[in-house]
Amino acid sequence: MPSQNPVFIPGPTNIPEALRRAVDMPTMDHRSAEFADILQPALSGVKRVLRSEAGEVFLFPATGTGGWEVAISNTLSPGDRVLAARHGMFSARWIDLCRRHGLDVVEVGAAWGESLPVHRFREILEADRDHRIRAVLATHNETATGVVSDIAALREAMDGERHPALLMVDGVSSIGSMDFRMDAWGVDVAVTGSQKGFMLPAGLAIVAMSPKALAAVESATLPRCYFDIRDMRAACPGSGYPYTPPVGLINGLRVATDMLLGEGLAAVFARHARIAEGVRRAVAAWGMSLCARRPEIWSNTVSAILTPEGFDSGALVAHAAKRYGVAFGAGLGDVAGKLFRIGHLGRLSEAQALLGLAVAEMAMADMGLELRLGTGVAAAQEYYRSKTP
Ligand SMILES: *Cc1c(COP(=O)(O)O)cnc(C)c1O
């Protein structure tokens, strides 16, 4: 029996009671008008969260990774060149997915802990005079390192070079928790999943496409079937689906977007910023530092905390789970064993964040790290008390 402690992994996030109820639905005919009353508000709610008027939203039974596959397979053709940075586990996985689809990836390396190198991207786009690069891929929030990248600056660089490539953004751990502006940033494909900012169980790949991306769908020749946007578009006007949709999850998404928009996106983002800053104050009080190298790129949805040289952060995460029933995120890929992550996205409160910090302190002390119990918690408490929501 799982404990009722909140989780502090950076997704899946804690599911609010109202959303658990919304997902729990009796069987319904997904070809009925009743289903349309669930699907349409879910789609328009997502559009509002994405700040998109022009885009079209698609919900596939999958997860964020499936959303990448939707993005790639619907807009590109075998051998197409794409530009991407590798600066964490998720950006690395996206590159791998592209290669396995037969795409030609121009890969830019960057330190794990750094953001997408917009400067370097601009140089590469400038040199690409015959516009062989068909898509630029960006991971808005690198969940492995707790680093946010500047998508507006990337769009500015692309426009500055008058480069026509599609801009595809992985917003899996930012959308619904941090500022994201699909139209204003000229994002052509935005990808997320149901289990992070939308606070639902995993199971939906949420993909939005700009008119320019939708035009590319017509000429793209990568194989796709289950994820074919054309089938989804053909079925959706009548609120149909090309196959059986996960009705409960879609109903959950309808309620989740209501919750986010009801709180107000600005308030949601401010809450995440406040909770994240409390966590960062705690980290500083512990005398530790973040994997993210500069304050400008600190993520408000996940903090990746470096542990001392020679210490196994994986053992810390395992101990916290076993002894205290609290899940933190482990280090992934290049940073495995070197850091642990506190996820603070979704419907998290200050009170819950303090619980996570208190448990992290106990677990670190148990594991022999030098720290005085209560120092991080007190730093966060002081910060939270000083900030009125
Ligand atoms: C979680 C995550 C993914 C992968 O999503 P899945 O739903 O696990 O397939 C992709 N990118 C980022 C940035 C993520 O945080």
33-72, pLDDT tens digit by residue?
A: 899 999 999 999 999 999 999 999 999 999 999 999 999 9
Whole-number Å distance, alpha carbon 53 to ligand 1 midpoint, is 25
Model confidence at 240: pLDDT above 80: no
Nearest Cα residue to 299 out of 326, 275, 328, 333: 275
* Residue 300, ligand 1, Cβ within 6 A: no
C-alpha gyration radius of the chain:
21
* Residue 193, ligand 1, Cβ within 6 A: yes
In this prediction, residue 28 carries a pLDDT of 92
* Residue 143, ligand 1, Cβ within 6 A: yes
Q: Which residues contact 302 (CB under 8 A, 6 or more apart)?
A: 10, 141, 143, 146, 173, 329, 341, 342, 343, 344, 345
Whether the pTM exceeds 0.85: the reply is yes
* Residue 13, ligand 1, Cβ within 6 A: no
Model confidence at 238: pLDDT above 70: no
Which residues is 81 bridged to in the sheet?
104, 133
Which of 63, 145, 178 best tests ligand 1's pocket when mutated (most atoms within 8 Å of CB)? 63
Structural domains in the chain, CATH included, are 17-262 (3.40.640.10), 264-386 (3.90.1150.10)
* Residue 175, ligand 1, Cβ within 6 A: no
- Report d(CA 191, CA 171) in Å as an integer: 6
* Residue 299, ligand 1, Cβ within 6 A: no
What share of the chain has pLDDT > 70, as a percent? 98
pLDDT bucket at 166, cuts 50 / 70 / 90: very high
pLDDT bucket at 355, cuts 50 / 70 / 90: very high
In this prediction, residue 2 carries a pLDDT of 63
Whole-number Å distance, alpha carbon 387 to ligand 1 midpoint, is 31
Whole-number Å distance, alpha carbon 64 to ligand 1 midpoint, is 5
279-320, pLDDT tens digit by residue?
A: 999 999 999 999 999 999 999 999 999 999 999 999 999 999
Strand 133-139's sheet: what is its strand order?
56-61, 204-209, 189-193, 166-170, 133-139, 81-86, 104-109
- Report d(CA 214, CA 262) in Å as an integer: 30
Whole-number Å distance, alpha carbon 90 to ligand 1 midpoint, is 7
Mean pLDDT of the chain: 96
Nearest CA to ligand 1 atom 12: 172
